[in-house]
């Protein structure tokens, strides 16, 4: 599982947009987002770089990942 720090998420729309972006890379990915802590947990077999790039391309800067 990846734990990403993602900026600019403010509402349910953002949660959907980020989830969609990740699932465009891996349709079976499990995405769990906590708006308060800006933390995005991704359960996926996709490469971390691909997941990070997809979220960033959707307009949400990824400032941390582990």
Q: Among 14-22, 23-31, 33-41, 54-62, which window interacts with Cu ion (CB under 5 A)?
A: 14-22
CB nearer to Cu ion: pick between 17 and 46: 17
Does position 14 interact with Cu ion (CB under 5 A)? The reply is yes
Q: How near is the Cβ of 45 to Cu ion at its closest, in Å?
A: 28
Neighbours of 54 (CB within 10 A): 22
Q: Among 9-17, 23-31, 45-53, 56-64, which window interacts with Cu ion (CB under 5 A)?
A: 9-17
Q: Give the H/E segment covering residue 12.
A: helix 12-25
Contact 33, 12 (CB under 8 A): no
Does position 10 interact with Cu ion (CB under 5 A)? The reply is yes
Neighbours of 4 (CB within 10 A): 23
């Amino acid at each position: 599982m990846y734990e990403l720090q993602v900026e600019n998420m403010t509402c349910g729309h953002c949660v959907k947009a980020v989830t969609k972006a990740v699932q465009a890379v891996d349709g079976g990915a499990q995405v769990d987002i906590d708006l308060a802590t800006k933390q995005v947990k991704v359960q996926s077999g996709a490469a971390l770089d691909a997941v990070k790039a997809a979220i960033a391309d959707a307009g949400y800067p990824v400032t941390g990942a582990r």
